[in-house]
Structure 1
Amino acid sequence: MRIAVLADIHGNVLALDAVLDDLRQRGGADLIVNLGDCVSGPLWPRETMERLEALALPTVRGNHDRRVARDTADEAMWPSDRYAQERLTSVQRDALLALPLTLEIAPAVTAFHARPDHDEKYLTDTMADGRLVRAPLVAIKRRLAALDPACRIVLCGHSHRSELIRIPDGPVVFNPGSIGCPAYGDDTPPAHVSEQGSPHARYGIVELGESGRPDRFEAIAVDYDHEAAARQAEQAGRPEWAHALRTGFMSG
């Protein structure tokens, strides 16, 4: 079975279309799974949501999907969430909120956005010197405590950092990176940044092994018109997003 893994689109329909086109050129997949954070961002939330509605992919709820759907539109709301919320219909917002926290997309293959029991806490990451780095193995194992012991592959997103970690006596954890948001800053204490280091749209392919064959994981980076996405962010008054989309780094 061949599974394409999408995560953290963040309203970047140009990046999403480039990924889908690249996947078609590679022969497609038996299943495409979406790991959430679909529309939040100063780009094309409505267009992205409509594209995803047409695809009808198995999808888990990200923290920004929940915030876009449920948070009150006031000054405390994060600007990217407010931008998306204002451009979605009530039906679309309800659909985001109704997404499940976890999905078993194939036998012993579990998908979720951040952790199996939480949509906003990091699984494989910790903060060091103001940026995300890999967490100690003992911490990752503890964060997976809510996972079914029979699970052998975990698909997750949230950090926007591509990771492949085999847990001793546990599952393989695969994060493909972000399709539409290659870098971000989070002021929530402790403040930190996540940086993919290039503007490429990231996604993954997992091939499940049969008859003793090992599973195969591929992290893919796709070029697309990131300059057009950056201009869209600038028009929305978000220069820091524009810089991240152009470079894969946060400014400063």
Structure 2
Amino acid sequence: MRIAILADIHGNVLALDAVLDDLKRRGGADLTVNLGDCVSGPLWPRETMERLEALDLPTVRGNHDRRVAVDPADDTMWPSDRYAQERLTAEQREALLALPFTLEIVPGVIAFHARPDHDEKYLADAITDGQLVRAPLATIRRRLKPLDPACRIVLCGHSHRSELIRIPGGPVIFNPGSVGCPAYDDSTPPAHVSEQGSPHARYGIVELDVPGRPDRFEAFAVDYDHEAAARQAEQAGRPEWAHALKTGFMSD
């Protein structure tokens, strides 16, 4: 079985289309899974939502999907969530809120956005000197405890950092990176940034149950018109998003 993994699209329909085209060139997949944070951001939330509605992918709810669904918006709503919230229909916001927290894709393969018990805390990451880095193995093991011991593969996003970690005696964790948002800053204490280091759109493919071969994990970085995405962010008054989309970094 060949499973394509998308995560953290963040309203970047140009990046999403580039990923889907690249996947098609590589022979497609038996199943494509979306790990959430679909539309939040100063780009094309309505267009992205419409594209995803047409695709009807198995999708888990991200923290920003939950936040975008708040109605009416209030002063505590983050700007990227507000931008998306104002451009979606009530039905689209309700659909985001109704997404499941976790999905069992096939037996032993579990998908969620961030952690098995929380949609806004990191699974495989720690914050060091204001940057996301890989967390210690003991920390990751502790965060995995809510999972069924039979789980052999974990699919997650949230950090926007591509990761492949085989836990000794435990599951493989696969984060494909972000389709549409290559860097971000988070002011929630402790404040930090996540930086993929290039503007490419990221996604992954997992191949399961191939006779005579172990499970295979591949991460891909796809070029697309990131300059057009950056211009859209600039027009929305978000120069920091524009810089991230152009470079994959939050600052020079």
TM-score of Structure 1 vs Structure 2, range by shorter chain:
over 0.9
Match of residue 232 from structure 2: 232
Query: Identity percentage over the alignment?
Result: 85
Q: CA RMSD in A?
A: 0.9
Whichever residue aligns with residue 91 of structure 1, its letter is E
Question: Which residue is 2:32 aligned to?
Answer: 32
Alignment of 1:169-208 (within 5 A): 169-208=169-208
- The gaps in structure 1 that reach 5 residues or longer are none
Q: What is the aligned partner in structure 1 of residue 80 from structure 2?
A: 80
Partner SS state of residue 218, structure 1: strand
Give the AA of the match of 1:105.
Answer: I
Counterpart-to-counterpart distance in 2, 1:107 and 1:210: 15
CA contact (8 A) 1:183 1:194 kept: yes
Corresponding residue number in structure 1 for 2:106: 106
Query: Could you tell me which residue of structure 2 aligns to residue 123 of structure 1?
Result: 123
How far does the alpha carbon of each residue in 1:63-97 deviate from its partner, in whole angstroms, 9 at most, with x for none?
00000002641222100000000000000000000
The one-letter code sitting in structure 1 at the alignment partner of 2:102 is T
> 1:14-25 residue pairs with structure 2 within 5 A?
14-25=14-25
Deviations 1:30-79 (A, max 9, x none): 00000000000000000000000000000000000000002641222100
Q: Which residue of 2 aligns with 1:147?
A: 147
Q: Which runs of structure 1 show a deviation greater than 4 angstroms over 4 or more consecutive aligned residues?
A: none
Measured after TM superposition, the shift of residue 195 of structure 1 is 0.1
Contact 1:209 1:216 in 2 (8 A): no
* Cα distance in structure 1, aligned partners of 2:134 and 2:78: 26
Aligned length: 252
Q: Where does the alignment leave 5 or more consecutive residues of structure 2 unmatched?
A: none
Question: Equivalences for 1:34-113 in 2 at 5 Å?
Answer: 34-70=34-70, 72-113=72-113
1:45 to 1:27, Cα distance in 2 relative to 1, 3 A? same
